[in-house]
Amino acid sequence: MKKITVIGLGAGDLNQLPFGVYKVLTEGNNIFLRTKEHPIVAELEEVGHSFTSFDSVYEKNSEFSAVYEEISEILLEKAEAAAVVYAVPGHPLVAEQTVQLLLEKGKERGIDIEIGGGQSFLDAIFQALKIDPIDGFQLVDGTSLSRDMIRLNTHTIIGQVYDQFVASEVKLSLMEKLPDEYEVAIVTAAGSKDEKITWVPLYELDRETEVHNLTSVYVPPVKDEQVLYREFSTFRQIIADLRGPNGCPWDKKQTHESLKKYLIEEAYELIEAINKEDIDHMVEELGDVLLQVMLHAQIGEDDGYFTIEDVVEGISEKMVRRHPHVFGNVEAETEEEVLSNWQEIKQQEKGTTKKSLLDGVGNGLPNLLKAKELQKEAAKVGFDWPDITPVLEKVKEELLELQEAKQQGNQQEIEQEYGDLLFALVNVARHYNIDPEEALFKTNQKFSRRFSYIEEKVAASGRSFNDYTLEELDAFWVEAKTIEKGK
């Protein structure tokens, strides 16, 4: 029978090796080692045993994935001719990618993969560090570590820290979430007579790490609240506490309906920060917008309808689905092709035929923006002027009709003609590629600045507004305008 028996060398020296594994190593044939860099191998070689290792495969490949692929292929080929024993550090099923590849490929090729046991390095590390994993821990691979894998409130053990390059990559990933001075432990050869634990500040991790096959890094749970505030899970718990039994009366009282105005306010305050290119203010306002999202999600969870995970899942699926040129095999080289694909997929998702091209367009938007979206949608089928000249003429026409309505004194007609004038002005903005909402926002800001200047001048004079004529106040306005232009 075609067979590969995988055994673990454990984490320590010969004294800790199970007797069954010892017998296989000393009495078996056709034994291959992932690496000779292990205390047990050195001890057995001293008494005359010899083995074939794959250390040369590490030397010729620059990527660990290529190393693991090549090792698994060689072993499978060997097993076609005769039974093979494959020995790995630690336990075969803990942090051993080659074993996972063997299990996957062996099944496809009719080769039996038998796991022969061995001691995991985790037991030795828990004992060396004197930590209890019941408090919560995670084991991650140092060769493929990213910041999103790291949970700060648990014991974290990072394995496969083979050399200073891996240690450097680990350090950089950790420093994205932890202070540079955060104390971590370098654990080498845990459970053996060569066991060594070195505590270092994070920024020195790659300077202190020994080049060793049995090196791991231990990151203790974070207790500093300021650091934990960077964790999304912490923020979520804060929101849950605010709406919990002992939470804030205001937060507990809120509903989806009552929060609508705050979402609009926070969005506009963010726009203001963007316009001012104020990065610190942007960070603050983005947090305020996120707060609104989290409050709505918490209300959904409290009511039993949905959670923040549902929100994240929905938008993640949508982004993947609507970007087949990124996550699939569709080609889209230009922005226009991307938008065309987006609209087509969006229509397929809706699943129903619209009665009108304008059904659902701009729903929920401020009316200036909705007007722009309605015009854009109509323009897609050719209902649009080819250039700006007739658009400007339409503005003049609507202004005259507004004046006529005013002369007639019909308030309802005045309101209707005023709306037509605004709609025509939005069309001007669209043809000039201007966001009407943004343009009005900037004008509001400009008006506020210039009026504040008038207030300062009036206050400095010791007089009140009532003491000034409109012409005098307008002169201050002109001064403010001149100063702004000068700047």
- Supply the pTM of this predicted model: 0.67
Q: Which parts of 206-312 are beta strand (E)?
A: 215-219
Which CATH number do you get for residue 271? 1.10.287.1080
What single-letter amino acid sits at 325?
A: H
| Domain annotation covers residue 143 | yes
Is 80 exceeded by the pLDDT of residue 140? yes
Are 9 and 85 part of one and the same domain?
yes
Rounded CA-CA distance 386/467 in Å is 52
* pLDDT confidence bin for 208, thresholds 50/70/90: low
In whole angstroms, how far apart are CA 264 and each of 260, 315, 388, 408?
Answer: 7, 20, 32, 37
CB-CB contact of 242 with 291 (8 Å):
no
Please provide the average confidence, as pLDDT, over all residues in the chain. Answer: 89
| Domain annotation covers residue 401 | yes
Rounded CA-CA distance 292/281 in Å is 17
User: Which helix (H) or strand (E) is 71 found in, with range?
Assistant: helix 64-81
* pLDDT confidence bin for 121, thresholds 50/70/90: confident
Are 185 and 246 part of one and the same domain?
no
Rounded CA-CA distance 142/474 in Å is 68
DSSP string, 332-370: --SHHHHHHHHHHHHHHHH-S--SSTTTTTTTTS-HHHH
Residue from 428, 443, 480 nearest 275 by CA: 443
Residue partners of 321: CB distance under 8 A and separation at least 6: 345, 349
Number of structural domains the chain divides into: 5
Residue from 97, 96, 127, 125 nearest 188 by CA: 125
Radius of gyration of the chain (CA): 35
Are 41 and 82 part of one and the same domain?
yes
Dihedral sign for Cα atoms in the order 209, 212, 213, 215: negative
The owner of tokens 């080929």 is 77
User: On the CB side of 31, how many CA atoms lie within 13 Å of its CA?
Assistant: 22
* pLDDT for 163: 83
Are 72 and 131 part of one and the same domain?
no
Q: Which parts of 63-148 are beta strand (E)?
A: 84-88, 112-115, 137-141
* pLDDT for 355: 67
Are 396 and 418 part of one and the same domain?
yes
Q: Which neighbouring-strand residues pair with 114? A: 5
| Domain annotation covers residue 322 | no
> 411 is written with which tokens?
């308030």
* pLDDT confidence bin for 39, thresholds 50/70/90: confident
| Domain annotation covers residue 323 | no
Dihedral sign for Cα atoms in the order 424, 425, 429, 431: positive
Distance between start and end Cα atoms, the chain: 86
The pLDDT tens digits for 259-308 are 988 998 899 899 889 988 999 999 999 999 999 999 999 999 999 999 99
Q: Which of 198, 225, 252 is the last residue of a domain?
A: 225
Q: Residue 40 burial by CB count (10 A; 0-12/13-18/19+): exposed, middle or buried?
A: buried
Residue partners of 15: CB distance under 8 A and separation at least 6: none
Rounded CA-CA distance 33/71 in Å is 10
Are 203 and 285 part of one and the same domain?
no
| Domain annotation covers residue 313 | no
Residue from 48, 90, 89, 54 nearest 72 by CA: 54
Are 473 and 373 part of one and the same domain?
no
Are 192 and 241 part of one and the same domain?
no
Is 90 exceeded by the pLDDT of residue 377? no
* pLDDT confidence bin for 165, thresholds 50/70/90: confident
Q: Which of 409, 434, 459 is the last residue of a domain?
A: 434
Are 81 and 129 part of one and the same domain?
no
Is 60 exceeded by the pLDDT of residue 220? yes
In whole angstroms, how far apart are CA 449 and each of 268, 458, 481?
Answer: 17, 15, 10
Rounded CA-CA distance 219/156 in Å is 5
Residue from 112, 30, 99, 36 nearest 68 by CA: 99
| Domain annotation covers residue 325 | no
Is 70 exceeded by the pLDDT of residue 222? yes
Residue from 319, 379, 365, 370 nearest 345 by CA: 319
Are 106 and 157 part of one and the same domain?
no
Domain with 135, as residue range(s), is 122-225
Pair type for strands 52-53 and 84-88: unpaired
* pLDDT for 348: 78
Q: Which of 264, 283, 306 is the last residue of a domain?
A: 306
CB-CB contact of 483 with 453 (8 Å):
yes
Report the pLDDT averaged over residues 72-90.
92
| Domain annotation covers residue 324 | no
Which CATH number do you get for residue 93? 3.40.1010.10
* pLDDT for 218: 96
* pLDDT for 309: 96
- The packing angle between helices 232-242 and 279-302, to 10°, is 60
Are 22 and 34 part of one and the same domain?
yes
Give me the phi and psi of 120, to 5 degrees please.
-70, 150
Are 148 and 242 part of one and the same domain?
no
The pLDDT tens digits for 294-342 are 999 999 999 999 999 999 999 999 999 999 989 988 888 888 888 888 8
User: Which helix (H) or strand (E) is 3 found in, with range?
Assistant: strand 3-8
| Domain annotation covers residue 339 | no
- Proportion of the chain above pLDDT 90, given as a percent: 55
